[in-house]
Amino acid sequence: MAVILNVEHLRKHFGPEPVLADVTFQVREGDKIGLVGPNGCGKTTLLNILTGREETEKGAIERIGEISIGYLEQRPKTDSHATLIAAARDALAPLFNMQKEAEEIAVKMGEVADDAERDRLAKRYDKIHEELMRKDAYNVEHRVERILHGVGFRDEDFEKDVATLSGGELNRLGLAKLLLEEPDIMLLDEPSNHLDLAATEWLEDFLKTTRAAVILVSHDRYFLDRVTNRTFELYAGTVDDYPGTSRSTSA
């Protein structure tokens, strides 16, 4: 599989000793990576640097092509007046915008007289249509409901105001929004928190089959073993890369 992210020689200090001393690794398309290491070793710091929330003191992060990186928000930024299902749909706003653009282009193609302009519009329409098909945008409502059900919401929850949701429900909504967005790389810090057994098993299956690459932090060893095919062990400021899961390392 092609490399989609290069991380080279990251360094980060909080005090005299580096949390990250010399972190280097690559992420390939479809990788399912468990990020493990002792508590306080810098796993969350590394994820924050990958998303740009924190700066690295040294090193470089190279995204290959126009890849997207999504990070599981512990408390999603959501309109408190929205309903649960409306907040979930917000994660797919780019798809809805693409659908609207495709409709507008289709109308313009029927109106323009210039052949060159019509060809330009047709190429743009074909490109958008291909992207919408790749992202299964024509089954979007079913997709929203399937993922909300997957993380443990019921039909009667869909019209609840977000302002009335508990902390655990907000975390599950944040997870649902990230899974709906399905960026090229998903960074998940303890995603099974607040999930019951059925929802955890559903999430395992989703992560194993998604086309996205995943970097996963979890204290649930069984969850890691079920999902991941590579392990990054963060210890003493560096990362060791192992194939498969690393059962001997404390997460």
Q: Residues of the chain with pLDDT > 90: what percent?
A: 66
Same domain, 107 and 231: no
Domain of residue 10 covers 3-68+183-243
Sheet with 58-63, edge to edge strand ranges: 18-28, 3-13, 58-63
- The answer to the question of residue 214 being in a domain is yes
- 90 and 152 assigned to the same domain: yes
Per residue in 192-242, pLDDT (tens digit) is 988 999 999 999 999 999 999 999 999 899 999 999 999 999 998 899 998
Report residue 97: phi and psi, to 5°.
-65, -40
pLDDT at 40: 82
Residue at 106 is within a domain: yes
What's the pTM?
A: 0.83
HEC-encoded secondary structure of the chain: CCEEEEEEEEEEECCCCEEEEEEEEEEECCCEEEEECCCCCCHHHHHHHHHCCCCCCEEEEEECCCCCEEECCCCCCCCCCCEHHHHHHHCCHHHHHHHHHHHHHHHHHCCCCCHHHHHHHHHHHHHHHHHHHHCCHHHHHHHHHHHHHHCCCCHHHCCCEHHHCCHHHHHHHHHHHHHHHCCCEEEEECCCCCCCHHHHHHHHHHHHHCCCEEEEECCCHHHHHHHCCEEEEEECCEEEEEECCCCCCCC
Tens digits of per-residue pLDDT, 57-116? 899 999 998 899 999 865 656 667 789 999 999 888 888 888 899 999 999 998 988 989
* Whether residue 88 is found in the same domain as residue 150: yes
Whether residues 161 and 228 fall in one domain: no
Q: Which residues pair with 236 in a beta bridge?
A: none
In a domain, 155, yes or no: yes
For residues 45 and 84, membership in a common domain is answered with no
Whether residues 122 and 141 share a domain: the answer is: yes
- Sequence-distant (6+) residues with CB within 8 A of 182 are 70, 135, 210, 211, 212
Same domain, 158 and 191: no
Domain check: are 151 and 208 in the same one?
A: no
Question: Would the pLDDT of 248 be above 50?
Answer: no
Report yes or no on 44 lying in a domain.
yes
Beta-strand relationship, 185-189 and 213-217? parallel
Q: Would you state the structure tokens that stand for residue 226, as one six-digit string?
A: 């079920």
Considering only CA atoms, which of 3, 23, 1, 2 is closest in space to residue 11? 23
User: Where is the domain boundary, 140, 166, 192?
Assistant: 166
Give me the CATH number covering residue 214: 3.40.50.300
- Average pLDDT taken over every residue of the chain: 89
For residue 249, being part of any structural domain is answered with no
Domain count, the chain: 2
- What length does the chain have? 251
Q: What is the pLDDT of residue 250?
A: 45
- Is 151 part of any domain? yes
87 and 157, same domain (yes or no)? yes
The number of angstroms, rounded, from the C-alpha of 206 to the middle of its chain's C-alpha atoms is 12
- Assigned domain for 73 exists: no
The verdict on 30 and 89 lying in the same domain is: no
Q: Are residues 235 and 216 in the same domain?
A: yes
The answer to the question of residue 176 being in a domain is: no
Q: Which of 121, 136, 166 is the last residue of a domain?
A: 166
Phi, psi of 6 (to 5 degrees): -110, 125
**Confidence band of 48 (pLDDT split at 50, 70, 90):** very high
179-200 b/e (C-beta count within 10 Å ≥ 16 → b): bbbbebbbbbbbbbbbbeeebb
The answer to whether 204 touches 176, Cβ cutoff 8 Å, is no
Q: Are residues 113 and 41 in the same domain?
A: no
